[in-house]
Amino acid sequence: MKIKILFLTLFLVISCNSSSDESSNDDIYNLKQTAITNAIQKASPGVVGIHVETKKLVRDWYGRARLSEGGGDGSGFIVSKDGYVITNAHNVSSIIDPNRRGQYKLFVTFSGGSMLDARIIGYDAQTDIALLKIDGEDFPYCALGNSENLSVGEFVIALGNPFNLFAESTKEPIASFGIISASNADFGVQSNGVVLDNMIQTDAAVNPGNSGGPLVDANGDVIGMNTLRRDESSNIGYAIPINKIKNIVEELKIRGSIDRGIDFGLGFINLYTNQLMIKYVHPRVALETDLSVYDIVLSVNDTKVSNIKNFSDVIKRSDVRPGDVIKLKILRDDKVKIVNLKTR
């Protein structure tokens, strides 16, 4: 009887210690779970790597042919359970280049290293946004947030595939933590025609390969797409706001491209006096507006212009589409006039 009581007492002591250890482990686990870790856990399953494989037949100086193999890596994120993926257009530029030659294959890489073929639904080079599709259903996807009222100092996490680590080493998205250090950063029209305005600036590390990946807030919702970083800095990166992306993606899903084939019904010439002059007015425009040959264009949509490039840049930065109305300030006979012109 004494032996039974001894064993029972020993069992209860061990059980209590075990329960105490489990409770302690639970407490430690709960302490480690923060809004940031929860946000990463929520968004990570929808983050993918983007991989392009290329094969080209090239010739050396002697005309000898050889097969050149290459590729490129980037990031993206799934936005629907049926497999729509958003990424930067420059991540798939080798495929969408009209002058491309050779064979190209496009894949997305998931957490764990599995890969699926992908195809391009549409892209917009001007905003550097591309929409891809993978076949299947019930994919994990990222929740899209709202980039309208972001605050400087707000916590954010950049997720993606820098240096192809996601695909080759870690088998999961790489996360970097920071804050929004500025909003509405404007870089204007780049040399390649991409318009980088109203960008979200963050000090979360954005490295090569991060482009196309999501920038998420403390709720784990996507508020932007990581797109570029300052070359001279390791901790200043920029993301395209998600509200802008939503609008572009909806049109890409329907049309495959963005219609910017604008007809102003006007011809221009640069004057040596750094002025932009109208040299031709279509009869339709002459009937609908008060525009005339020899008018000097002072501004477009309240932005000063002095040459054709200025005019073109303003149109791009305003994202003018066919049917939109632009505001022209013109000078004629030393008098300033405001004319509203509807594009076609």
Catalytic center residues: 90, 128, 211
Other Cβ atoms closer than 10 A to 128: 26
Tokens encoding 112: 């764990």
- 123 in Cβ contact with 130 (< 8 Å): yes
In 3D space, the residue among 210, 211, 184, 178 whose CA is nearest the CA of residue 199 turns out to be 184
The amino acid present at 189, given as its one-letter code, is V
Buried-exposed string 106-124: b where 16+ CB fall within 10 A, e elsewhere: bbbbbbeeeebebebbbbb
Tokens encoding 189: 């029209």
